[in-house]
A and B are shown apart, each in its own frame.
Chain A
Amino acid sequence: MHTRRHFLQSTGAIIALPALESLGFRRFASAATVTPPKRLIFLSFGWGTTESTWYPDIKKPGPDYELPKGLAPLARHKADFSVVQGLWNKYSNEGHWGSTMWLTGANRYAQAGQSFSNGVSADQVAAERLGMDTRFSSLHFNGTEGDMGQSGHGPGLSLAWDMRGKPVPGLNGPLAAYHRLFAKDNTPLEQQRALLAEKRSVLDAVLDNAKTLQRGLSTADNAKVAEYFQSIRDIETRLSKDEQWIGVPHPDAPLPEPKPGIAGRGEIALMYDIMIAAMQTDSTRVFTYRQPVWSLLTSLDIKVFPHDMSHYHTTLGEKLDASQRRDVAQSELLAGFLDKLKGTREADGSRLFDNIALAYGSNIRTGHELSNCPTILTGGAAGLKLGHSIVAPKDTPLCNAWLTLLHGVGVNVERHGDSSGVLKEISA
């Protein structure tokens, strides 16, 4: 294994330096390098945005565009992100699914004999390549609310769908994320090895049983039970990884354990901090996050039901206001995240921001509208043209943007989803 350990430092005093040892530095010191890894982040927010106050003027693209009200909190970062218009997933037809096909561009009816199918999501394509050297190939976060239908995300267990188009489960909320990343395992090494061995024997036993079950199943049933076999393989892969990482303690958490019960606005801010921490400790290089909208509204003391809010058009008034306040709150949170990405230094002195590619948006524009999906791209890793309001030709595949990001972080796949090429408008 050619794991590279990285050492990040903070420009401010806010972020504590993790001890060398706890990063497993000694073990991998010979392989240490100063080139920071590239990372990919996808953030989605369900119910879309307020059309009239979130999008820059579509007629005036370029660097000198005026930041609309909904994006105003991002003003200090204006030179460092681009808003892209004109993108969509042409097969999307579900007005309540803000995330299900966002990263896949798939057609739910693509498979004859199925009323739902999905494809692989861009993050999983990236994880194949970027996930080899880290403890977690990729990490997927959801709001604490778990089932995120009320937040407009649509079916799925996270933003991620695996190579076979099956949902990849995510971690619900900051506490779960924190524990997965930083839970201390004080078990002696010998015992950890024994535990791994036991887990293997457990898998061995259930695999045996799965083979018994499989005997005589119809072709279709066999295809379904294949999920169980795949689950065993997935755990095995994880165990192999665990084995390689045995003796490398989970890193010291650069932030305290979150208190339970933090919801909405505070929760999203916390999740951003946890992502920074995960990058500092190089725990993974691929992130997705389905942000809570329902609890965000509650935390802003907005009483309007989220789906109702997204249909502000007929009544305006307090629904429109809720929608706009949601936009502002989300932009403030994103701006805070960008502050921290810029404020955290890598071993070579570059900023975390310089080594990430980040997409922020939703499959839903507003209401049930699925064209011109709200899209913000940022980060220095993928060679993007930043600081622009970019208008792609109408109905350009969203997957072109994903392909651009993939190429940008060194994952040179030929196509993704329904992509027709890279998004040349944003390539610097």
Chain B
Amino acid sequence: MSIQKPFLILLIALALAPLWVAIAVVAESPRVAMPDKHRALLKEHCVSCHGPEKQKGKFRVDDLPFSLADIETSEKWQKVLNQMNSGEMPPEEEKQPTNSAKTDFLDDLSNVMVAARKALADRNGAITIRRLNRREYSNSLRELLGVEINVTELPADTGNGAFDTMGANLFMSGNQLEQYLALGREALDEAFAWQAAMGLERKIRVEAEDEASQKVRKKYQDDLDALERAKKWVAAVAAAMASPENAEVVAKLRKDAKSEDAVRREWKKIKGAPAPEDFGFVTKQNTADLAHYALQFGTAAGKGYTRAYREAYLGMSDVERGGYLTVGGGLEMLLHDHITLAVPFEWEMVSGDYIFRVRLAATDKATPERKFIEFGVAPQHTESPFLSTHQVTGTMKNPQIIEIPITLTRHHAERANRTLFVREKGIRDHYTQAQSKLGTAKARNGIGPDFAIWVDWMELERLPDSRKGKATAIAALGIPLDDEAAPGAADVREALGRFCMKAFRGAMPEPGYLDKLTRLYASRMEAGDKHSAALKRTLAVALSSPQFLYLAEPVEDNERRPLSAVELATRLSYFLLGAPPDATLLALSARGELTKPEVLAGQTKRLLDDPRSRGFTRPFVHQWLGLERLDFFEFNRKLFPRFDASTKLAAREEIFATFEHILRENASVRDFLKADYAIINGVLAEYYGIAGVEGDAFQKVALPKNSARGGLLGMAAVMAMGGNGEHTSPVERGAWVLRKLLNDPPPPAPANVPQITRLAGKVLTTRERLTAHQEDAQCASCHRKIDPIGFGLENFDAVGQWRTQDTYQVMDETGKPVKGASTTWQIDAGATLHKGPAFENYFQLRDRIEEKSGAFSKGLSEALIEYALGRPIGFRDAPLVAAMVERAGQKHLALREFIHALVESKEFQTK
């Protein structure tokens, strides 16, 4: 691809002129063209059939313009690319171009296609009107109503490869409009419930000995009692069997039966044998089975497996004044592998902010990886998710209290959702997980896993008035929300007006619209609704109205113009908080001060310092780095038992926490590429084998000089994404590095490239297998860039742990390993970058990548622009990107500088 000179000059002119003037002048797109050198290939290998004479398939290449200036030409080139990628052209029997010429041709053409598509889709920097995307909608409700609801039934607005802020991709449908109405009602129900519960004080404490120990003891004693009764019954049957009058029957039974149990099942045929019922075994099936089952408690097999473990439990020193967390595995081991606290039914009005406290300690048997608990809701689900993981640092001598904030809603008053629990980490991701832990421990000590965590008590306390006055739109209503006395129509109309002002971010609703809302309220009242119900139904309509759902920026005659102060406040706030502008921003924009550069910079800083900026950091980082891939597959628990759900959660969190650290400290974005520190918590420190880190908070930890950690490449989550949960994928990793770190994205995987099948089932190393990519031009054109980077990261396994060797095992079609068909090799992470330097190992590769912090900064800038403006990056953005990198460059590429430069740009401040 080449960009012609006149355009470059234009670019420079653009950089100097105010944008909305420049845009009117410049209309020409950049020239995207196939390099001239490739004419030879077409001439030599294509024109004889697709030229003026033959025109096979009515397709000519001799008059194919090398400049891809319109859709028609691009489609023709796409056809050329498709035909060559699929291997259909040139036809097999014809003379073939050399592999290297073909590789270069395909490399250039596929990149030219990407550039041409981009140029043809360019809309001159115009920003399409944005609907609130799903998370912005949810955040907006939170700001207005003070509550958060589940909005997952709305379309996610992601998944098309672009940021969820891209207005053009944010659709609306009748169905969705109805969902807004329903969700608005749900949110208002919750908000009104919250208001009604405001000020309530609630507290409950449960002792773990009641919740756990006593239940274990009761179950143990019941089983013991059943065992004794079963023994007595067996003895009584045995006595009857010994009687001579039964000799014949017994002999016959023994002959047919496989075991003594099976003989006793026929106790009715044995004269004088007592019924199991007489010994307390009552069931609808064969009652003997129940007795036999009870017998197992006296043996090592079957249920007896649980006896020793329970005895060990009841023998623990502090069982009377607390309870121990166990590893249950869904077996009938110990009733519970978790200890619960249920929200009492009597509380009724539950909505509110709470603190959950648990007093607990690690026993002296707790190994470091077992000193963690998981906290969550609804443990009855077999593979129940949890909300958070916490490190246990208390000791039996000096127990600790962990405090966990949690918000409860109306739905936590429901039976299915009212149980809060704590359990040991990594025992309930899947039933096989606990089973393997049980099995391993049992094999070692004959009993079961040691008891690692002791719990004294758990407590739940409501924080009264925790969000008082924070629900701006509710506060604005200014009329009673209960049904004590219904306000008059005029009062309701005014209240609706005030509510809409908040919901519409300061815009005044039209009187006609307010009339219609008021009439809706009145008709609900006439239909028999109470005031609060009619009001909620009416307000839900306001929350489904376009002035709430869309961020409108009207213009005159399609002319570009600077944003108004309130529009700027809105754009800034949705960028950095993912939420509507707060009172400060609205006040500043009302006074016309926000457009002053120093005020705008001050507000940008304030928002970045606000904890609500998670509404920017989380979605931005998630989409920018493509973290959704982390949830694309199940990690193989057998191969990687340590990468449990808690660890995966922490690994994902590390990426966010690192970004937030760099943002908070205004550190250099170079730290994303390489750093002498990591931002980790107790879980990850334990996983990474880094000593001296304690607690649940992500904290800055200095790394030793030779550490592989530090920077995105050293993060478990990043490496785990570059695999499939079982094996690493050098291709995924290489492509990710090119896309995200080096701003050199490979073209999308082309359709119809013949798959390489001849290596299947062969015993090869990863590298040997991937070398096949270099043989076919269709593959090599991209993979020569991708694969070497992937090779350099092979020291990280599929869950981001460091390794020095790898194994390939051929599997048969049932997924079982084929005997003898396996190979193990020492990992050599050295390779040579395409048209670049060689590196010997991961550390050198990381250095090579760190040297490209310029390219990284460019990629980051482009991502920020797309995210903030809600439109694809265009060729006209080159000066803005350059300006952002330039400004940050003056401060060692400090992260905030990128954002300040963007916010201060004409692009950001222009409709």
Contacts and interface: CB of A to CB of B under 8 A. Distances in A.
Given A205-B520, A369-B752, A316 B545 contact: no
A221 B814 contact: no
A311 B121 contact: no
A317 B811 contact: yes
A230 B175 CA distance: 11
Chain B contact residues: helix, strand, loop or mixed: loop
Contact of A212 (B71, B510, B520): B510
Interface in A216-232: 216-221, 224-225, 227-228, 230-232
Contact of B724 (A213, A308, A313): A308
A411 to B, nearest CB: 23
Contacts of A231: 172-174, 176-177
Given A109-B120, A313-B760, A321-B814, A166 B171 contact: yes
A19 B636 CA distance: 52
Contact of B523 (A167, A198, A232): A198
A192 B618 CA distance: 44
Given A235-B174, A314-B757, A321 B815 contact: yes
Given A109-B120, A213-B552, A321-B813, A314 B769 contact: yes
Given A112-B120, A205-B513, A225-B129, A167 B632 contact: no
A210 B546 contact: yes
Interface string B166-206: 01110111111110010000000000000000000000000
Contacts of A235: 174, 177-178
B815 A317 contact: yes
Nearest to A307: B632
A141 B528 CA distance: 37
A370 to B, nearest CB: 4
A65 to B, nearest CB: 24
A97 to B, nearest CB: 9
Given A208-B513, A370-B751, A313 B757 contact: yes
A168 B155 CA distance: 11
Interface string A174-201: 0000000000000000000010011001
Nearest to B179: A169
Interface string A299-334: 000010101100101111110110010000000000
Contacts of B755: 311, 313-314, 366-367, 369
B257 interface: no
B411 interface: no
Interface residues of B, number: 83
A371 B756 contact: no
A231 B761 CA distance: 54
A350 interface: no
A197 B171 CA distance: 27
Contact of A208 (B178, B512, B749): B512
A94 B748 contact: yes
Contacts of A113: 120-123
Nearest to A234: B174
Nearest to A93: B751
Given A194-B527, A202-B181, A221-B552, A95 B517 contact: no
Nearest to B160: A155
Interface stretch (B41-49, B223-231, B553-561, B826-834): B553-561
B126 A220 contact: yes
A100 to B, nearest CB: 10
A209 B159 contact: no
A216 B546 contact: no
Contacts of A227: 171-173
A66 interface: no
B547 interface: yes
Interface in A323-367: 324, 366-367
A218 B760 contact: no
A308 B753 CA distance: 16
B634 interface: yes
A215 B174 contact: no
Contact of A216 (B78, B122, B554): B554
B759 interface: yes
B752 A371 contact: yes
Contact of B519 (A114, A201, A230): A201
Interface string B601-630: 000000000000000000000000000000
Nearest to B181: A202
Interface in A124-146: none
Contacts of B513: 205, 208-209, 212
B640 interface: no
Nearest to A233: B174
B177 A109 contact: no
B647 interface: no
Interface in B523-541: 523-524, 527, 541
A368 B749 contact: yes
A230 B177 CA distance: 11
A205 B550 contact: no
A232 to B, nearest CB: 7
B889 interface: no
A224 B810 CA distance: 53
Nearest to A150: B632
Contacts of A314: 755-757, 759-760, 769
Contacts of B524: 198
A147 B509 contact: no
A34 interface: no
B180 to A, nearest CB: 9
A379 to B, nearest CB: 28
A238 B178 CA distance: 12
A232 B175 CA distance: 10
Contacts of B554: 215-218
B877 to A, nearest CB: 15
B520 A201 contact: yes
Nearest to A325: B813
B725 interface: yes
B811 A228 contact: no
Interface in B59-91: 71, 74-75, 78, 82, 86
Most chain B C-beta atoms within 10 Å of own C-beta, residue among A112, A166, A238? A112
Interface in B473-515: 509-510, 512-513
A167 B156 CA distance: 13
Given A198-B520, A216-B554, A208 B510 contact: yes
Most chain B C-beta atoms within 10 Å of own C-beta, residue among A109, A201, A209, A313? A209
Contacts of B553: 221
A92 B751 contact: yes
B280 interface: no
Contacts of B122: 113
Contacts of A234: 173-174
B547 A116 contact: no
A213 B554 CA distance: 8
Interface in B708-767: 724-725, 748-753, 755-757, 759-761
B761 A218 contact: no
Contacts of A210: 545-546
B761 A317 contact: yes
A305 B725 contact: yes
A204 interface: yes
Given A95-B751, A235-B177, 7 more contacts: A93-B82, A230-B172, A305-B725, A316-B760, A321-B813, A368-B753, A369-B751
19 contacts: A95-B748, A147-B156, A147-B159, A157-B155, A167-B173, A212-B513, A213-B552, A221-B553, A224-B167, A225-B550, A228-B177, A231-B177, A305-B725, A308-B724, A317-B761, A320-B813, A321-B815, A368-B749, A369-B755
Those 9 A-B pairs whose CB atoms lie nearest each other, nearest first: A216-B554, A234-B174, A313-B755, A318-B815, A316-B760, A317-B811, A321-B813, A221-B129, A205-B516
Interface of B: 71, 74-75, 78, 82, 86, 117-118, 120-123, 126, 128-129, 155-156, 159-160, 162, 167-169, 171-178, 181, 509-510, 512-513, 516-517, 519-520, 523-524, 527, 541, 544-547, 549-550, 552-556, 558, 632-634, 636, 724-725, 748-753, 755-757, 759-761, 769, 810-815, 872, 911
